[in-house]
Amino acid sequence: MASRRQANFLLSEELIEELRRSVGKREQSQFVEAALQKELKRLKLERALEGSFGAWKDKNHPEIRASTEQFVRKLRKTTREKRLAR
């Protein structure tokens, strides 16, 4: 288990009251920790998506320029053939 440290945050009174009504007293820290982890994960993903925007260039993928449907069918056929050859 990861070591724990106390942290102090200012939250709105309404948010604190809703937390107290919704979550048991002994579960509040775990609840806030889980919510914070979830939001940090979301932010990390959002930044990764923003940072990779424009990374895909059609010129780098001529195999699917004509038709993605044909490309996928070819991939599936190759995979099926490899599986049957075993």
CA gap 2, 9 in Å, rounded: 20
- For 15, residues 6+ apart whose C-beta sits below 8 A from its C-beta are none
Residue 47 is assigned to a structural domain of this protein: yes
The reply to whether 20 and 50 lie within a common domain is: yes
The reply to whether 60 and 84 lie within a common domain is: yes
The reply to whether 25 and 41 lie within a common domain is: yes
Tell me: the pLDDT tens digits for 66-84? Answer: 888 888 888 898 888 888 8
The reply to whether 18 and 47 lie within a common domain is: yes
The reply to whether 64 and 49 lie within a common domain is: no
CA gap 25, 1 in Å, rounded: 21
* pTM of the predicted protein model: 0.62
- Provide the domain count of the chain: 2
Structural contact between residues 19 and 31, judged by C-beta atoms closer than 8 angstroms: yes
Tell me: the pLDDT tens digits for 14-70? Answer: 999 999 999 999 999 999 999 999 999 999 999 999 999 888 888 888 888 788 888
CA gap 77, 19 in Å, rounded: 54
The reply to whether 25 and 44 lie within a common domain is: yes
Q: Is the pLDDT of residue 5 over 90?
A: yes
19: domain range? Answer: 11-55
Query: Helices (DSSP H) in the chain: which residue ranges?
Result: 13-22, 28-52, 68-85
